[in-house]
């Protein structure tokens, strides 16, 4: 009796073969707009707290959280303003970075790497004014 083997992709990683993951960056660029964030970095210089602000320009799209995303948040606070940011992979923000967007201080709460698809998704929340990033 022949040895029959069923072959499927269950045990293959997504990036096993190049070209197997759809690059949706072309479609997203139709929705992206040119954006500028101001990244706030805090440090201690000569025993004094110093803030450095750096402008970061990129192509991206901001959308509000859906009701389902808000309902799944473990913190129980719904009065804060939450956003999704879809951006080109060249934008390299990290969790807990603080940026100023539209005059509002905003904190990066999450980062999901979809560079195989041609974008990166960030979760942002409007931060308390002057909270800033933690000092080292």
Q: Is residue 9 assigned to a domain?
A: no
Q: Is residue 2 assigned to a domain?
A: no
Q: Is residue 4 assigned to a domain?
A: no
Q: Is residue 19 assigned to a domain?
A: no
- Separation between Cα atoms, residue 5 and residue 48, nearest integer Å: 68
* Signed CA dihedral, 92, 71, 74, 116: sign only: negative
Domain CATH for 36: 2.40.10.270
Q: In this predicted model, which residue has the larger pLDDT, 19 or 116?
A: 116
Q: Is residue 31 assigned to a domain?
A: yes
pLDDT value at 77 more than 80: no
Residue 68 — φ and ψ, nearest 5°? -65, -45
Q: Is residue 108 assigned to a domain?
A: yes
pLDDT tens for 16-75 read 655 566 777 778 878 899 999 999 888 888 888 888 899 999 999 988 876 666 665 656
Tell me the CA end-to-end span of the chain in Å, nearest whole number: 68
The beta strand positions in the chain, using DSSP E, are: 33-45, 48-64, 82-87, 98-101, 104-114, 119-126
Q: Is residue 81 assigned to a domain?
A: yes
- Looking at the DSSP assignment, which residues form a beta bridge with residue 38? 55, 100
Q: Is the pTM of this model over 0.75?
A: no
pLDDT tens for 83-111 read 899 999 999 999 989 999 888 889 998 99
pLDDT value at 79 more than 70: no
Range of the domain at 97: 25-126
Q: Is residue 47 assigned to a domain?
A: yes
Tally Cβ neighbours within 10 Å of residue 63. 11
Number of domains forming the structure of the chain: 1
């Amino acid at each position: 009796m022949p040895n029959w083997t069923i072959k499927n992709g269950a045990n293959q990683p997504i990036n096993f073969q190049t070209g197997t993951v759809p690059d949706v960056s072309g479609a997203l660029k139709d929705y992206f707009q040119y954006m500028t964030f101001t990244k706030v970095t805090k440090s201690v210089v000569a025993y004094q707290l110093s803030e450095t602000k750096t402008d970061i320009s990129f192509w991206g799209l901001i959308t509000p959280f859906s009701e389902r995303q808000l309902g799944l948040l473990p913190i129980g606070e719904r009065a804060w303003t939450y956003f999704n940011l879809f951006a080109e992979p060249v934008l390299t923000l990290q969790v807990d970075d603080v940026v100023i967007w539209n005059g509002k201080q905003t904190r990066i709460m999450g980062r999901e790497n979809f560079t195989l698809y041609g974008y990166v998704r960030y979760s942002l929340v409007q931060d308390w004014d002057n909270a800033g990033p933690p000092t080292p």
